[in-house]
Amino acid sequence: MSEDLEFAFALLLSGASIGLMYSLIALGFVLVYKATDAINFAQGEFVMLAGMIVVTVLGAEAPLIAAIVVVLLVMIGFGFGLEKVVLRPLLGRPVVAVIMATIGVAAVLRGLSPLVLGIETRALPLPIGDEPIAIGPASLPPIQVLGAVVAILFFIVFSWFFKKSRMGIAMRAVADNQQVAQAMGINVERYFAIAWAMAGIVSALGGVVWGAMLGVDVQLALVGLKVFPVVILGGLDSIGGALVGGLIIGIVESLAAGYLDPYVGGGTKDFAPYVLMILVLMIRPYGIFGRRQIERV
Amino acid sequence: MLAINNIEVVYDRVILVLKGVSMDVGEGTITTLLGANGAGKTTTLKAISGVLRSERGEVTKGAVQLGDKRIDGMRAHDVTRMGLVQVFEGRRVFENLTTEENLIAGGHVQTAGAVKQGIDLVYSYFPRLKERSTQVSGYLSGGEQQMLAIGRALMSRPRVVLLDEPSLGLAPMLVEEIFGIVSRLVKQERLSVLLVEQNATMALAVADHGYVMENGRIVLEGPADKLRDNSDIKEFYLGLNEGGARKSYRDTKHYKRRKRWLS
């Protein structure tokens, strides 16, 4: 393989693995939007919170597995609690009210983080070493491989859940039409809470892998910003869309960094996804897999 | 089976929509509720099934009894658990779910085994749904969607079904087919049905008992065959003149009959 091709392959591979990790976070966003129609602007802060919990537990000399169990439980509880305390009183209010509430939650979490942890970046060590893993002619840091694997596992589990399990089908029914779902005996409010708890689970794992990659501090919340191009591209309410959208955004970023940065002096990686997002909004506003209103003719 | 006792419904805390409505739905019978647009028929159904709450409506007086349990004030999903289910006007299937997924969602209050049996039962009454089982229901025809809406409601194994305008926007042949199936369901599954209809001819043909509603009040009631012969009903809902012949446009133009219950 020529050197150019090898370079391209390395960029694709690294973009895809980072992209899968974006997908993982976007999944939390999609779960909430799909079930409750709420747009969660605090998704990145969820991830940051999870990262903080993990380093705090690890800081108390606890084993990693204990930290993961704790972060999962706390984030589930956090999802339930947030729905109950902040979002349920807003039921039936305009969407903007919910958006503002989540922005408020995000600000509070970001403000609390330095209070609790200080402003230093804390490392989140995972016992996977940092010897790059060779894949074909390129290689990846082990944390990116782990992140990608976790993301894929989650997608398989959630796809099964929504297609096959009765709970998942009920959740889709709620997303489709709340009033009718209620009349079918589905406790809509409970399913809202479950959706937020599921977003908590996804964020917990997202916090572990992203925290291990970037270190844990307030900046970790910024990965949440990447959620928007991903879900706009893939479709706000599509699980598969989050996967594909994440992959595309990751690859676009990586290609921009590899091919455009040398000419302009760097930084294209950070805005390329948003350019793509605006293009998508103009051409296909519901995303690649988003739900178009079904109209019978 | 279902008794409604002098209920009042208020929307947004100020708008009085139902002004003391009482009705009875006997076990294993079809009771129909007739009335013009805006009379309060759909509101009556929503008050019974409990979905009124999500529309800022409230039952402020009176009681609704299902068997020997009071269900007014209960939340919609609990009412369904008690064995009463509403089929909404305009079908309202879960458009992004397949036919079978719609049925599974409809059986939410049942056990997994009961859901399997329920699906077989629904397919036996509506064989057409079986052919469409894996299709996304948003793309079904209007008649199939109506069948699915009724089938989905049956999945919760209800004792009472509230049917809101099943004939809406359907071809006369399909309307007849659907009403035929509903009548069979009532006989074979011992369902009790409260049927709201604009199509009074069809409704009075299948019903055992009927009520007429106007402006949030019941103004007339009686056995369906009596109502069919009532001259006011004939005039205002069936479009027939006193002799039973079809009314011509000329008659209405020259002579407007006054509803007797208004005096």
Task: Give residue-wise pLDDT tens across range A135-146.
Answer: 888 889 999 999
Do B165 and B61 fall into the same domain?
yes
State chain B's mean pLDDT as an integer.
89
A169 touches chain B (CB under 8 A): yes
- Domain limits at B43? 1-83+158-176+183-229
Q: Tell me, what's the pLDDT at B257?
A: 64
Tokens (6 digits) for A276: 């793509």
Beta carbons of A166 and B86 less than 8 Å apart: no
Report residue A200's pLDDT band, with 50, 70 and 90 as the boundaries: very high
Q: How far is residue A275 CA from its own chain's centroid?
A: 20
pLDDT at position B243 is 58
Residue A283, pLDDT > 90, answer no
Q: Does A165 touch chain B (CB under 8 A)?
A: no
ipTM of model: 0.87
Q: Are residues B121 and B192 in the same domain?
A: no
Distance CA A49, CA B227 (A): 68
Q: Token digits for B146? A: 């109506």
Is A294's CB within 8 Å of B76's CB? no
In this predicted model, which residue has the larger pLDDT, A285 or A54?
A54
Confidence grade of residue A270 (pLDDT, cut at 50, 70, 90): confident
Q: At a CB cut-off of 8 Å and minimum separation 6, what does B143 contact? A: B170, B171, B174, B177, B178
Predicted TM-score of the model (pTM): 0.86
The answer for B 113-172 residues in CB contact with A (under 8 A) is 115, 136, 138-139, 142, 152-153, 155-156
Q: Does A183 touch chain B (CB under 8 A)?
A: yes
**Which distant-in-sequence residues (6+ apart) come within 8 Å of B121 by Cβ?**
B154
Task: Count Cβ atoms within 10 A of the Cβ of residue B247 and give its class: 0-12 exposed, 13-18 middle, 19 or more buried.
Answer: middle
Q: What is the pLDDT of residues B35-70, one digit of tens each?
A: 888 889 999 999 999 998 888 889 999 999 998 899
Task: Say whether residue A2 is in contact with chain B using an 8 A CB cutoff.
Answer: no
Question: How many residues in chain A?
Answer: 297
> 3-state class of B195 per DSSP?
strand
Q: For B208-257, write each residue's pLDDT tens digit.
A: 999 999 999 999 999 999 988 888 887 777 766 655 566 666 555 555 56
Separation in Å, CA of A91 to nearest CA in chain B: 10
Q: Is A170 in the B-facing interface, judged by CB distances under 8 Å?
A: yes
> Strand, coil or helix: what is B32?
strand
Sign of CA dihedral A121, A124, A129, A131: negative
Are A294 and B139 inside 8 Å of each other by CB?
A: yes
Nearest chain A CA: its distance from B42 CA (Å): 14
- Please check whether residues B20 and B134 belong to one and the same domain: no
User: Nearest Cβ partner of B81 from A173, A181, A185?
Assistant: A185
Task: Give B-chain residues touching A176 at CB under 8 angstroms.
Answer: 94-97
Question: E strands within chain A?
Answer: 133-135, 138-140
Given a contact cutoff of 8 angstroms between Cβ atoms, the answer to whether A166 and A186 are in contact is no
What are the helix (H) ranges across B18-94? 41-49, 76-82
Q: Extract the tokens encoding A231.
A: 């879900």
- CB distance B77–A92 less than 8 Å? no
Instruction: Indicate the average pLDDT of chain A.
Output: 90
Mean pLDDT lowest for which of B94-108, B122-136, B247-261?
B247-261
Number of domains in chain B: 3
Neighbouring CB atoms inside 10 A of A271's CB total 12
Yes or no: say if B84 and B2 are a contact pair by the CB < 8 Å rule: yes
Q: How many Å apart are CA B208 and CA B182, to the nearest integer?
A: 13
The pLDDT of residue A234 is above 70: yes
Are the beta carbons of A166 and B92 separated by less than 8 Å?
A: no
| Predicted pLDDT of residue A136 | 82
Separation between Cα atoms, residue A121 and residue A142, nearest integer Å: 21
Read off φ and ψ for residue A281, nearest 5 degrees. -60, -35
Per-residue pLDDT tens over the stretch A88-125: 888 778 888 989 999 999 999 999 888 877 788 888 88
Say how far apart CA A243 and CA A228 lie, in whole Å: 13
What is the model's pLDDT at position A137?
84
A159 touches chain B (CB under 8 A): no
CA distance A216 to A255: 26
B135-161: pLDDT as tens digits: 999 999 999 999 999 999 999 999 999
Q: Give the model's pLDDT for residue B138.
A: 92
Scanning the structure block, which residue is given the tokens 């159904």? B45
Strand partners, B221: B211
Whether residues B146 and B100 fall in one domain: yes
Q: What is the percent of chain A where pLDDT is above 70?
A: 97
pLDDT at B244: 59
- Compute the nearest-CA separation of A60 from chain B (Å): 44
Of B76, B139, B142, the CB nearest to A183: B76
B200 band by pLDDT with thresholds 50, 70 and 90:
confident
For residue A11, give the H/E element and its range.
helix A3-36
Please indicate if any CB of chain A lies within 8 Å of the CB of B31.
no
Q: In what order do the strands lie in the sheet with B217-223?
A: B84-87, B160-164, B192-197, B30-35, B209-214, B217-223
Residue B197 tokens read as 């209809």
Residues B199, B244 within the same domain: no
Closest by CA to A43, choosing from A53, A54, A28, A58, is: A28
* C-alpha to C-alpha distance for A21 and B5, rounded to whole angstroms: 59
The residue among A124 and A293 whose pLDDT is bigger is A124
The answer to whether residues B222 and B239 belong to one domain is no
pLDDT at A238 over 90: no
B75 and B8 co-located in one domain? yes
Same domain, B120 and B225: no
- Residue A207 Cα, gap to closest chain B Cα (Å): 32
CB of B51 closer than 8 Å to CB of B218: no
Say yes or no: B49 and B162 in one domain. Answer: yes
Residues B25 and B142 in one domain: no
The two three-digit tokens of residue A295, written as one number: 């109209």
